[in-house]
Structure 1
Amino acid sequence: MKKVCVIGHFGFGENLLNGQTIKTKIVTKELDKQFGADQVVKIDTHGGAKALPSVVFQMIKAFRECNNIIIFPAHNGIKIFVPLCNSFNQFFHRKLHYVVIGGWLPSFLKDKSYLKKGLTKFNGIFVETTTMKNALHDVGLDNVTILRNFKDINPLKEEDLNMNIFEPLNICTFSRVMKEKGIEDIINAVKEVNEKYQKTIYALDIYGPVDDQQTDWFDELQKSFPTYIKYKGMVQFDKSVEVLKDYFFLAFPTRFYTEGIPGTILDAYAAGVPVVASKWESFNDVVDDGLTGIGYEFADYKDLKQKLEHIYENPNEIIDLKKSCINKAEDYLPQIAIKVLLNELYTER
């Protein structure tokens, strides 16, 4: 018997840099290290409905061969793979695990009693934050464990931190480029602060894949960019520290209230770069306000702008956070974070 089968959005042969694909690959890579790649069966759900017949065939084979089944579905996938796994398990009696990506699951389940019932049959549901664990407990799920998001990247050494303060202060975003990530908020705030002081205080670089449904919006937005705002394209997830380390801070102006532990913040910590972030639901699980970053009220543009002005007038407050960021990054190393999942996989049913 093989140790584990992973069912998730790998996008084999594609250069996909969305959070779902990255997390699926990162966790699976660590499982390969722990068990050996020959003990980890991988089923790629990329392709949606067209790929489903092939996926189902592969799943039946995997249930025959593997002791543990791990799924990584998003909103649409959970409605398919939870019932499928439970149906197959009536015959095969394997250990079922669900690794949740992001923080959307509790609200998604509130009016879906059939899915809640299906998830009670899983051995473990692994979520990123205490906030999520408590919210799932409130909807009736007690088989929930915290598995911190993690990345296989080496934090900078203290002596390599960029402690310089130069104008303009170079800042960036490092996420999907879409309205819901608050991209317009940080663009407009930078513009208004620079205009207020009548000089280029902040220079903003925007990284990340543009959402397929919002390319027209972003194309139009770029037409209004002054010279100090630039779109820099995509960065491979293993090059993030190299790109981020010279920025003054990372802006994370999300308007997704149910974010989990954003991988971009882990990148920033490893690079010794503090974050200026909107206080989404799980903010306090990820950011130590005043220690690894500075928060502003959720979706409060006025507060964001005030924070940018305060930081400009007190730049050493950001510099003072850098060492805490690389210390915090240690909490999200794979060999530390993965232990809770491994304990469940090693336990006999």
Structure 2
Amino acid sequence: MICKKRVTIIGHLGGKKKSCDGQTVKTKTVYSSLLLNEHFQVEILDTYYARKISLFWIKLLWNLIFSDCLIFLLASNGRKFLFPILYFVSLLGKNTINYTIGGKLYEETIEKQYYKRYVSSFTENWVESFYLLNNLKKIGINNAVYIPNFKKISPLSVNEVVHKQYHKPFMLCIFSRICEEKGIEEAMAAVTEINREFGEIVCLLHIYGPVASEFQERFTSCLKLSPEVFYMGVVSPEQSVSVIKNYYALLFPTRTFTEGMPGTIIDAFCAGVPVIARAWASCEEMVIDGETGYTYSFDKPQLLKRRILDSLKDQNWLKMRKNCLKKALEYDEKLVCEKIIGRIERVLHI
């Protein structure tokens, strides 16, 4: 009989809401993958309830005491509240794995010097980019491990993309949380300016994703001024590839330099759709200019318009689509989850 090790995942599940943000999707996928391993008895704590009910804190205390390994997937706010507690239990010898969400951990550690003490105390820190891995090493944090982002979706076959024909109007899309930080307004303005400049409808933009409440009014106003831009609602993670595959390109005009490794770009690669992205810190690890899409300087957001026009003239767009399908294999769920399970077994000496 196998003696199972108790593994507790601490992350955001969104309570009873149907959340489709990257953090929630990642937490659910990791949980479902670990459930299949015969060596683990897996528990999960939803940080959605951390500020709402005391039962969360009772369950947390129980798992802090009795779990063999704690894996926590926390964004900036979660780190602020839970890092001190997890630091304390790590000092008591508990196996603690910080599965970093987003790309801000290095900057946060520079800003908050005590974070270095927290992060260094954990058994391992899993990061999704070499940019973050190398920067943590520069400040003396040597327990970081590269674990690629991944999605529980299968790429299309080459045959499904090679026969795709494009013509005016070229269909562009955005898949993300709809808020100011995602550069939505820049994308809307670029499409409007292109069409105005040519005096015809050269391209259309479809926007998918949940709209942040604080951005709703502004977004609605922008849509009224942009007749070539349409809000298409929210699509479930399982349907992302089947929707994105119908587009010419996915736009990623983020205003956040410390983006992580966005799942929406993996969706695009699985759909064989090139990405036009503003070059955030670790962008070149995903979007290779001229191979899997186009990039433009983070300091020059106005270049989005030019890069869209460049893409419309590109004679190698079909080759790029094939490159995207190849790149998608790097983020394969099975391969990454095998690495995750291997790291946990190593920590637990299984």
Q: Which residue of 2 aligns with 1:50?
A: 52
The alignment partner of 1:81 has SS state of: helix
Q: Which residue of 1 aligns with 2:66?
A: 65
Tell me by how many angstroms 1:35 deviates: 4.2
* Residues 90 and 121 in structure 2, CA contact (< 8 A), matched pair in contact too: no
Unaligned runs of 5+ residues in structure 1 are none
Unaligned runs of 5+ residues in structure 2 are none
CA RMSD between the two structures: 1.7
Please list the CA deviations of residues 160-179 of structure 1 after superposition, one character each: whole Å capped at 9, or x if unmatched. Answer: 11521121001100011112
User: What letter corresponds to residue 239 of structure 2 in structure 1?
Assistant: K
The alignment partner of 2:37 has SS state of: helix
Tell me by how many angstroms 1:262 deviates: 0.3
Q: Confirm or deny that 1:235 pairs with 2:238.
A: no
Tell me by how many angstroms 1:322 deviates: 0.5
Distance in 2 (alpha carbons) for counterparts of 1:224 and 1:100: 39
Distance in 2 (alpha carbons) for counterparts of 1:47 and 1:64: 20
User: What letter corresponds to residue 323 of structure 2 in structure 1?
Assistant: S
* Residues 258 and 281 in structure 2, CA contact (< 8 A), matched pair in contact too: yes
Distance in 2 (alpha carbons) for counterparts of 1:34 and 1:241: 28
Q: Which residue of 2 aligns with 1:88?
A: 89
Please list the CA deviations of residues 93-128 of structure 1 after superposition, one character each: whole Å capped at 9, or x if unmatched. Answer: 321000111111111111322221021110110111
* Residues 175 and 208 in structure 2, CA contact (< 8 A), matched pair in contact too: yes
The alignment partner of 1:295 has SS state of: strand
Q: Which residue of 2 aligns with 1:321?
A: 320
Distance in 2 (alpha carbons) for counterparts of 1:34 and 1:316: 47
Distance in 1 (alpha carbons) for counterparts of 2:140 and 2:78: 21
The count of corresponding residues between Structure 1 and Structure 2 is: 344
Q: Which residue of 2 aligns with 1:168?
A: 169
The alignment partner of 2:231 has SS state of: strand
Q: Which residue of 1 aligns with 2:120?
A: 120
Distance in 2 (alpha carbons) for counterparts of 1:283 and 1:80: 29
Distance in 2 (alpha carbons) for counterparts of 1:60 and 1:302: 50
User: What letter corresponds to residue 45 of structure 2 in structure 1?
Assistant: I
Tell me which moved more, 277-286 or 338-347.
338-347
Distance in 1 (alpha carbons) for counterparts of 2:339 and 2:311: 38
Distance in 2 (alpha carbons) for counterparts of 1:147 and 1:266: 15
User: 1:249–1:24: structure 2 CA closer, same or farther, 3 Å change rule?
Assistant: same
User: 1:164–1:137: structure 2 CA closer, same or farther, 3 Å change rule?
Assistant: same
Distance in 2 (alpha carbons) for counterparts of 1:285 and 1:307: 19
Q: Note the 1:239-254 alignment, pairs <5 A.
A: 239-254=239-254
**Paired-residue identity, %:** 33
Q: Which residue of 2 aligns with 1:145?
A: 145
Tell me which moved more, 105-114 or 246-255.
105-114
Q: Which residue of 2 aligns with 1:29?
A: 32
* Residues 249 and 318 in structure 1, CA contact (< 8 A), matched pair in contact too: no
TM-score, structure 1 normalization:
0.94
Tell me by how many angstroms 1:89 deviates: 4.3
User: What letter corresponds to residue 333 of structure 1 in structure 2?
Assistant: D
Tell me which moved more, 270-279 or 115-124.
115-124
Tell me by how many angstroms 1:65 deviates: 3.2
User: What letter corresponds to residue 327 of structure 1 in structure 2?
Assistant: K
The alignment partner of 2:71 has SS state of: strand
* Residues 147 and 338 in structure 1, CA contact (< 8 A), matched pair in contact too: no
Q: Which residue of 2 aligns with 1:39?
A: 41
Please list the CA deviations of residues 264-320 of structure 1 after superposition, one character each: whole Å capped at 9, or x if unmatched. Answer: 0000000010101111100111112211111111152332111122222x1433222
Q: Which residue of 2 aligns with 1:333?
A: 332
Q: Which residue of 2 aligns with 1:255?
A: 255
The alignment partner of 1:321 has SS state of: helix
User: What letter corresponds to residue 129 of structure 1 in structure 2?
Assistant: S
Q: Which residue of 2 aligns with 1:19?
A: 22
Tell me by how many angstroms 1:67 deviates: 1.4
Please list the CA deviations of residues 7-61 of structure 1 after superposition, one character each: whole Å capped at 9, or x if unmatched. Answer: 000123211122221221122222223348x71100001034223x322211222
Q: Which residue of 2 aligns with 1:342?
A: 341
Distance in 2 (alpha carbons) for counterparts of 1:311 and 1:330: 24
Distance in 2 (alpha carbons) for counterparts of 1:156 and 1:129: 25
* Residues 102 and 260 in structure 1, CA contact (< 8 A), matched pair in contact too: yes
Tell me which moved more, 124-133 or 114-123.
114-123
The alignment partner of 1:71 has SS state of: strand
Distance in 2 (alpha carbons) for counterparts of 1:205 and 1:140: 44
Q: Which residue of 1 aligns with 2:207?
A: 206
The runs of at least 4 aligned residues of structure 1 exceeding 6 Å deviation read none
Q: Note the 1:266-305 alignment, pairs <5 A.
A: 266-305=266-305
